[in-house]
């Protein structure tokens, strides 16, 4: 029987999370849809995330197969929203060998439960305006917030949220 768990990441999870993000970078590049840069996931960068308690990992049989970053505020993407309103999800990634096993949905459901437990109103995220990503997030209960894609920091993004209260 498959044992699965989603939890806050620890120091012991940083190497696995870095590996998943770097694998995702390489895969996205290979399909002609680059998104993240591998250097964003150097060990030191992830350690800072761990130090602030923002890494979340999904485990199958005690192996990290999914990860994401979370934040209490996101002033770059959601500048109009103060802290205490939403939980922000970034860089959700799943190990390629575990793709298609509903890990993205499970991770986002976990984020919603964490937001609700913290008495927040929503889970928010942003993504590139790519139909498969938008379909994934809307199928997971997220709604597009703006009329369409918006430009932030030289990138075109779509902002989405899932209400939890």
pLDDT digits (tens, 9 = 90+) for 42-63: 777 777 777 777 999 999 999 9
Calpha distance 148→142 (Å, rounded): 14
Helix (H) / strand (E) containing 134 = helix 131-139
What pLDDT does residue 126 have?
96
CATH class of 4-125: alpha beta
Residue with tokens 């997220």: 142
Residue 10 has pLDDT above 60, yes or no: yes
In this predicted model, what pLDDT tens digit does every residue of 70-100 receive, in sequence order?
A: 999 999 999 999 999 999 999 999 999 999 9
User: Taking residues 63-68, what's their average pLDDT?
Assistant: 96
**Hey, CA dihedral for 145, 34, 96, 7, is it positive or negative?**
negative
**For the stretch 55-71, what's the b/e string if a residue is b when 16 or more beta carbons lie within 10 angstroms of its beta carbon?**
bbbbbbeeebbbbbbbb
Residue 69's DSSP bridge partners are: 55, 90
Locate the domains of the chain by residue range: 4-125
Q: List the structure tokens of 131.
A: 């139909």
**24 vs 3, which has greater pLDDT?**
24
User: Taking residues 64-69, what's their average pLDDT?
Assistant: 96
Which percentage of the chain shows pLDDT scores above 90?
Answer: 76
């Amino acid at each position: 029987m498959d044992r699965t768990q989603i939890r806050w990441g620890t120091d012991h999870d940083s190497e696995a999370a870095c590996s998943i993000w770097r694998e995702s970078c390489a895969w996205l590049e290979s399909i002609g849809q680059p998104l993240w840069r591998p250097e964003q996931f150097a060990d030191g960068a992830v350690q800072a995330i761990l130090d602030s308690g923002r890494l979340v990992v999904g485990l199958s049989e005690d192996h990290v197969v999914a990860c994401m970053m979370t934040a209490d505020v996101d002033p770059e993407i959601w500048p109009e929203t103060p802290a205490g309103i939403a939980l922000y999800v970034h860089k959700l990634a799943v190990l390629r060998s575990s793709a298609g096993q509903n890990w993205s949905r499970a991770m986002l459901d976990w984020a919603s439960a964490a937001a609700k437990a913290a008495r927040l109103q929503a889970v928010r995220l942003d993504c590139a305006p790519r139909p498969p990503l938008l379909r994934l997030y809307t199928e997971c209960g997220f709604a597009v917030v703006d009329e369409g894609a918006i430009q932030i920091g030289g990138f075109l993004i779509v902002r989405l949220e899932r209400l939890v209260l």
